[in-house]
Amino acid sequence: MKETLDEDGRRNGSSVAGWVTAMAASILCACFSQMYGQQPNSAAAQASAGWKAYEEGRFTDASSLLEEAVKQSPRNADYVAALAEVDSKLNQPDAAIKLLKRAVLLKPEDSEFRLDLAQLLQKKENDQEALEILQGHPNPQLADPWHFSRGFSLFRLGRLASASGEFKLVVQKPQFTAPASFFLGNIAYMQGQFTQAEPYLATAVELGNTGRNKAFNVYTYDYGLVLYKLGRFAEAAQQFKASIAQYDADPLPWMFLGRCEEELGNYSEAIAMLETSTQKDSTFQLADYELARLQQRHGDPKRAEELFKKISDMKEEDVNREQERAMRLKAAPRPQ
């Protein structure tokens, strides 16, 4: 993705790595290009060559060159952050985190370094430390991804009111409308506010259907569950079908699709969906129970008897516990 650089070599525009902003090192290209006149073995020349190798996808070469630049200029935060970007590309997150922490210490006022570090910590599910990094006021150009990142960690830590406040700051921004709406819908659902959750998740599904959104099956499943709770079974069924179309190995959308068909009086279709759910996970006892009950009432009594024997050790409290688990929304991963 192309981006522009201002006269100081800082980046303007959108990201080149991650879901919101690139590693701060990506701003270095313009700075390095001014240094080609230096000696071939100087830190600036090594850094410039390293970043060129990075842009060409030669990450191992980039790592070697940038390591030499950092060795020669250990207090240059931009070189350190550039090496962190390369390590991240080489799937070495721990090394990248260590380097970015060093870059932040060298240049604590750099909001971009902090944001990049927080996002790497989130990948490691270290949300408390990510929030500590995201204290204070960021560069205004990074305010939106900053607030969204804070909201994401607060949500995962169960601090729903604070998370909601962060997401509401960015939900009207086009880049963040779909994911922020998704999390606001989740928060409303978790608070038992199903009517309030519905428009948020409707927006998330409408705007989140892009090829880049690998969590779209979660968006549609969660929206289907909200519609199911609201008694809008035909609409819910469409969302569960959309979730299955994205990822058909999960038994839960099949089970809820079966429940919707049952509520609509389509008993043969309901049985077929529940049979599929049990096939997707042979240990999913709640689907076995639902299918046995439906077969007994509207299908094959012998099949019902077989299923009831299979789950003979399942007690009422087990059914209730599994039902409670099934009604929880799925958590989406960090947006990409």
Tell whether pTM > 0.75: yes
What is the mean pLDDT of the segment spanning 257-272?
98
What is the mean pLDDT of the segment spanning 50-58?
95
Range of the domain at 36: 4-124
Mark whether 335 and 235 lie in a shared domain.
yes
Mark whether 201 and 219 lie in a shared domain.
no
Is 262 inside a domain boundary? yes
Is 131 inside a domain boundary? no
Is 130 inside a domain boundary? no
Write down the residue that tokens 């989740």 correspond to. Answer: 186
Number of Cβ atoms within 10 Å of the Cβ of 318: 14
CB 289 within 8 A of CB 319: yes
Is 143 inside a domain boundary? yes
pLDDT for the residue 212: 86
Is 244 inside a domain boundary? yes
The domain boundary residue, chosen from 193, 208, 223: 208
Angle at the Cα of 155 (from 149 to 158), degrees rounded to 5? Answer: 145
pLDDT at residue 19 is higher than 90:
no
Three-state secondary structure call for residue 309: helix
* 21 vs 80, residue with greater confidence: 80
pLDDT for the residue 25: 42
Is 129 inside a domain boundary? no
Mark whether 298 and 276 lie in a shared domain.
yes
Tokens in use for 2? 């192309």
Mark whether 221 and 336 lie in a shared domain.
yes
Mark whether 263 and 186 lie in a shared domain.
no
* 331 vs 116, residue with greater confidence: 116
Q: What is the CATH number of the domain that holds 316?
A: 1.25.40.10
pLDDT band at residue 329, thresholds of 50, 70 and 90?
Answer: confident
The domain boundary residue, chosen from 173, 208, 243: 208
Percent of the chain past pLDDT 70, that is, above it, reads 86
Mark whether 17 and 80 lie in a shared domain.
yes
pLDDT for the residue 15: 38
Interatomic CA distance for residues 140 and 144, integer angstroms: 8
What is the mean pLDDT of the segment spanning 139-153?
96
Mark whether 140 and 246 lie in a shared domain.
no
Helices (H), the chain: 28-33, 43-55, 59-72, 77-89, 93-106, 111-123, 127-133, 143-156, 160-170, 177-190, 194-208, 216-229, 233-246, 251-263, 267-280, 285-298, 301-310, 316-326
Is 23 inside a domain boundary? yes
* 230 vs 32, residue with greater confidence: 230
Mark whether 23 and 116 lie in a shared domain.
yes
Mark whether 182 and 255 lie in a shared domain.
no
Average pLDDT, the chain: 88
What is the mean pLDDT of the segment spanning 282-308?
95
Is 161 inside a domain boundary? yes
What is the mean pLDDT of the segment spanning 310-315?
90
pLDDT for the residue 38: 52
Mark whether 278 and 294 lie in a shared domain.
yes
Helices (H), 248-284: 251-263, 267-280
Structural domain tally of the chain? 3
Mark whether 169 and 282 lie in a shared domain.
no
The domain boundary residue, chosen from 174, 191, 208: 208
Mark whether 273 and 331 lie in a shared domain.
yes
Number of Cβ atoms within 10 Å of the Cβ of 229: 16
Helix (H) or strand (E) holding 40: none
CB 178 within 8 A of CB 204: yes
